[in-house]
Chains A and B, each alone.
Chain A
Amino acid sequence: MKEKTQQQKLMSFGISMLALGIFPLTWFLFQAILFRELTDAISRNLLVVIAIIVGSTFIFLLFIGMDKIIKLSPKENRDTLEARMFAGPSIFMIGLFLFYPALRTFYISFKDRYSNEFVGFENYKWAFTDSEMIVTIRNQIIWLIFVVTFVILIGLIVGWLSDRLNKGEAFFKSIVFMPMAISAVGASAIFKFIYEYRPPPLTQIGIINGIRVSVDRLGTTCMNNRIIDGKFYGFDNDNCLPPIGWLQQRDLTMLPFADSLNLDNWFNSILINLPINTMLLMVIMIWMFTGFAAVVFSAGIKAIPAEIMEAGQIDGASELRVFRSIVIPYIKSTIIVVGTYMVVTVLKAFDIIYVSTRGDLETNLLAVKMLDEFSKYRNFGRSATVAVLIFVCVLPIIIGTAVRERENTQS
């Protein structure tokens, strides 16, 4: 009798090992090795077809296979095994592909560039003393302040105003929301075309420089560098403004009003040092995310009970007053959620910089710097340190949100 339970235990252990350990591992390895071998062996089109089919169906094989194996085990164990089979893959994948690597990044950040020896806080010292890193952190702060503020402000305006339209509300929101659907790479390409600069004998094809060279200092039309109907109008008019490489400008000294600025004034001296290229790159992100804010705010505004709004109107409060004292307090939590989302998004902003300037000319951001250290300079320690910095900035914000959510649901 005793021996039998011993045997049963052994068998159920074996089955659970098979179902939850060996089988999923084989499943993963089979897929990985299959594609590693196929990648160079067959034609690309065939590979893509196989990848789509295998990639989207194999996952069901995993669960069906585990289920079949579990069916072999004695009934009384089955419930536990089934629960493990349902929840296991998620936990395991998060652990292996997200949690373990994150811990390891911490660990690597204390080691040297090849992760051979411990260097203590050397990398962190570098992160706060290296001149390039200081510029990167400065840019990150500028981005956080401006992008988050403008996205929320314009989002509030669009959300609030479009809510008051009788028709066309969806249309306006869709227009502003549309950039959210396209990739940041595509958006950067669009804006690069707007900021495009070409050295003077060539025609300006970016609209900003186009406008700039078409009006001279006296306010009359300027034909510099323009070709109309095949006729070239020359570029010898000295009164015309030269085009500017917008994404190459680190400050405002190139702009016409800079000459007349009194630099003794502290405000002017800050103004003149405004990194114009960083500002213009931020426009891309504001353009992309305002629609998201508008849509979320608009949903929040719609949820305000009509009686409250009407009470405000009957009392004769002006629209701005209604907006300030009813709408804003009512959707405060929504604003915080959007703000949180934007802070996290800005901290992880990568594509825009990578495609536009590759982080040169003092436009770098943390996420780009992280990848640069990793793939360009091959310094794993520093790269991990920058990643940890991003994480440390994200951490309090997310925890704050989670705590607030909890309070909201409990109250």
Chain B
Amino acid sequence: MNRTTQKWYDKPVTKLILITIAITWIFPVFGFVLSSFRPGEAIKRESWWDAIYTGKLWSELTLSNYSEIFFADNLDRSFYNSFAVTIPSTIIPITIAAFAAYAFAFMEFKGKETLFLFVVASMIIPLQMSLIPLVQLFKSGVEIFGLPIIPALDINGTFVATWFAHSGFGLPLATFLLRDFMMGLPKSVIESAKIDGASNMTTFFKLVLPLSVAGIAAFATFQFLWVYNDFLVANVFLGVYKPENLVVTSHVSQLAVGAYGEAWHLRTSGAIISMIVPLVVFFSLQRFFIRGLIGGAVKG
């Protein structure tokens, strides 16, 4: 059976089309990466294809763009800021969602169905819908019927604002996905643990969490890449006007928007540094990322 199908499978046209598409996809990155290793003056004086053509390119190659953008232009600070935003913004929603998912999967309480419906329904809310009031909430608090629930905190521009904004946006999906995952765990194991007298906390930490690692990893990869690559939330809650508040994406956007004139040597090297972390995460955790993505396909 394999003989015939293989022959049918391996037509040169297939390869030709795929190679064409692959080259088209790689090509934009190629000139960009190349330019990041050329001095700023050279980029502007001679196009990269002419430089290849004349062979001058090889003598020009330098790493100075990278050291300039990283140290002189303070991209290192933006880099650390990105981690200060991304790591808690991944851990907080996952922890909260894991607890909630456990409750929805294994515990009995009043209004369970209604509350879960509320979680699912919240998935349809696009980020834009809650942006303005959230900024106001972080600035001047909330009052419900004159009763202050949250006082005026004025925390826009601090990391906390981004953590809770990202947590709010990520929680419905995280709760939904993790509950789905936990429902798939063998019920008998959890029940026998309860019969043995294990408390919910013990069952959760010792049994359910280790069993749900795959599900948690899927969402964690997804959320990590999402937050790290996010520009909108960083723009709104951290702002782009204070240079010490920039994260990697907003720093690169500042470079690209034109405040730097024609500084292509900084634009290219800055953008490429910003891509290193997500590419590493992506290639090492591709399987989890895809699973998280597909799960997230039904989100507002």
Q: Is A292 an interface residue (CB 8 A)?
A: yes
Most buried by B among A52, A54, A93, A165: A93
Contact B21 A157 (CB under 8 A): yes
Known contacts being A36-B160, A185-B253, is A310 close to B5, with CB within 8 Å? yes
CA distance A124 to B137 in the complex (A): 24
Which residues of the partner chain A approach B189 to less than 8 Å between Cβ atoms?
Answer: none
CA distance A79 to B47 in the complex (A): 70
Q: Is A303 an interface residue (CB 8 A)?
A: no
Contact with B along A288-310 (1 / 0, CB 8 A): 00111001100000000000001
Contact A313 B5 (CB under 8 A): yes
Residues of A80-132 whose CB lies within 8 A of B: 80, 82-87, 89-91, 93-102, 104-105, 108
Most buried by A among B100, B126, B157: B126
Contact A193 B168 (CB under 8 A): no
Q: Is A204 an interface residue (CB 8 A)?
A: yes
Contact B87 A55 (CB under 8 A): yes
Known contacts being A227-B45, A367-B128, is A93 close to B155, with CB within 8 Å? no
CA distance A347 to B126 in the complex (A): 9
Known contacts being A93-B168, A398-B298, is A181 close to B278, with CB within 8 Å? yes
Contact A39 B157 (CB under 8 A): yes
Picked from A32, A180, A292, A398, the residue with its CB within 8 Å of the CB of B300 is A398
CA distance A120 to B87 in the complex (A): 43
Q: Is A384 an interface residue (CB 8 A)?
A: yes
Contact B153 A33 (CB under 8 A): yes
Most buried by B among A47, A108, A193, A358: A193
Residues of A335-393 whose CB lies within 8 A of B: 337-338, 340-341, 344, 347-348, 350-351, 354-356, 358, 367, 370-371, 374-375, 380, 383-384, 386-388, 390-391
Label chain B's interface by main secondary structure: helix
Contact with A along B260-290 (1 / 0, CB 8 A): 0010100110011011001101110010011
Specify the chain B residue showing the minimal Cβ separation from A395.
B124
Contact A358 B257 (CB under 8 A): yes
Contact B125 A391 (CB under 8 A): yes
CA distance A189 to B18 in the complex (A): 26
Chain B nearest Cβ from A206, distance in angstroms: 8
Count of residues in B whose CB is under 8 Å from the partner chain: 136
Q: Is B91 an interface residue (CB 8 A)?
A: yes
Which residues of the partner chain B approach A196 to less than 8 Å between Cβ atoms?
Answer: 264
Q: Is B201 an interface residue (CB 8 A)?
A: yes
Label chain A's interface by main secondary structure: helix
Q: Is B223 an interface residue (CB 8 A)?
A: no
Specify the chain B residue showing the minimal Cβ separation from A373.
B132
Residues of A1-41 whose CB lies within 8 A of B: 25, 28-29, 31-33, 35-36, 39
Chain B nearest Cβ from A178, distance in angstroms: 7
Q: Is B181 an interface residue (CB 8 A)?
A: no
Picked from B1, B132, B262, the residue with its CB within 8 Å of the CB of A374 is B132
CA distance A269 to B87 in the complex (A): 52
Specify the chain B residue showing the minimal Cβ separation from A108.
B132
Q: Is A48 an interface residue (CB 8 A)?
A: yes
Q: Is B113 an interface residue (CB 8 A)?
A: no
CA distance A39 to B122 in the complex (A): 32
Specify the chain B residue showing the minimal Cβ separation from A226.
B50
Chain A nearest Cβ from B282, distance in angstroms: 4
Specify the chain B residue showing the minimal Cβ separation from A193.
B32
Specify the chain A residue showing the minimal Cβ separation from B14.
A161
Which residues of the partner chain B approach A56 to less than 8 Å between Cβ atoms?
Answer: 87-88, 91-92
Contact with A along B21-54 (1 / 0, CB 8 A): 1100110110110010000000111111110011
Picked from B149, B283, B298, the residue with its CB within 8 Å of the CB of A405 is B298
Chain B nearest Cβ from A327, distance in angstroms: 14
Tier of interface size on chain A: 35 or more
CA distance A61 to B297 in the complex (A): 32
Q: Is A60 an interface residue (CB 8 A)?
A: yes
Q: Is A215 an interface residue (CB 8 A)?
A: no
Picked from A55, A86, A177, the residue with its CB within 8 Å of the CB of B99 is A86
Q: Is B163 an interface residue (CB 8 A)?
A: yes
Q: Is A216 an interface residue (CB 8 A)?
A: no
Q: Is B235 an interface residue (CB 8 A)?
A: yes
Contact A344 B25 (CB under 8 A): no
Which residues of the partner chain B approach A47 to less than 8 Å between Cβ atoms?
Answer: 84, 159
CA distance A385 to B142 in the complex (A): 21
Specify the chain A residue showing the minimal Cβ separation from B99.
A86
CA distance A262 to B83 in the complex (A): 57
Which residues of the partner chain B approach A295 to less than 8 Å between Cβ atoms?
Answer: 290
Contact A370 B128 (CB under 8 A): yes
Contact with B along A262-292 (1 / 0, CB 8 A): 0000000000000000000000000100111
CA distance A362 to B195 in the complex (A): 66
Picked from A101, A190, A205, the residue with its CB within 8 Å of the CB of B129 is A101
Contact A193 B35 (CB under 8 A): yes
Specify the chain A residue showing the minimal Cβ separation from B33.
A190
| Chain B contacts to A: CB under 8 angstroms | 1, 4-6, 8-11, 14-15, 17-18, 21-22, 25-26, 28-29, 31-32, 35, 43-50, 53-54, 56, 77, 80-81, 83-84, 87-89, 91-92, 95-97, 99-100, 102-104, 107-110, 112, 115, 118-120, 122-134, 137, 142, 149-151, 153-155, 157-160, 163-165, 167-169, 171-172, 175, 200-201, 204, 225, 228-232, 235-236, 244, 248-250, 252-253, 255-257, 262, 264, 267-268, 271-272, 274-275, 278-279, 281-283, 286, 289-290, 293-294, 296-300
Q: List 7 A-B contacts (CB under 8 A).
A: A56-B91, A94-B168, A101-B131, A108-B133, A186-B275, A198-B262, A351-B232
List the 7 shortest-distance A-B pairs measured between CB atoms, nearest first.
Answer: A55-B88, A97-B168, A90-B100, A101-B130, A181-B282, A183-B229, A86-B103
- Given A93-B164, A189-B268, A202-B44; 8 other pairs, CB 8 A cutoff: A59-B91, A91-B118, A99-B125, A227-B46, A287-B28, A313-B4, A344-B126, A398-B299
